Amino acid sequence: MKKTVQKLLAEYGTVAVVVYFVIFFAVLGGFWLAIRLGWQPTSAAGSVGTFAAAYIATKLTQPLRIAATVVVTPFIAKLYERIQGRRPNV
C-alpha cells in the first residue's frame, strides 16, 4: 500500500493531496454531524467531546480513505486537466 501511495503522489502530486484532504474533512464533518445529531458510538470515543470522537472515528477509517484516494484521484486529475484545457500526458 505504501508503494501505491508513493506512486500516486509521484504521478498526481498536489491533486492527490487535495483529494485526500477533501475526503478526510468530509468524513470528519460527517462523523461530527452524526454525533451532534444523536448517533452514539459504542466505544471509548463516545465518552469524549464531539470533535474528539469524530476525529477518532475518522482515524479508524484511514485505510478506507486511502483506498478511496487511490481510486478517485486519477478521475479527478483527468477532470481537472479537462477543465484547465490541458491534454493528458498519457
Q: Domain count for the chain, please give it.
A: 1
- pTM value is 0.75
Q: What are phi and psi of 43, to 5 degrees?
A: -125, -175
Range(s) of the domain holding residue 67: 2-84
Cα 74 from Cα 60, distance rounded (Å): 24
Is residue 40, in this structure, part of any structural domain at all?
Answer: yes
Does residue 12 form part of some domain?
Answer: yes
13 by DSSP, 3-state: which?
A: coil
Q: Is residue 90 one of the residues assigned to a domain? A: no
Q: What is the pLDDT tens value at each position of the chain, 90 positions in all?
A: 678 888 888 888 889 999 999 999 999 999 989 888 876 656 555 556 788 888 999 999 999 999 999 999 999 999 988 888 765 554
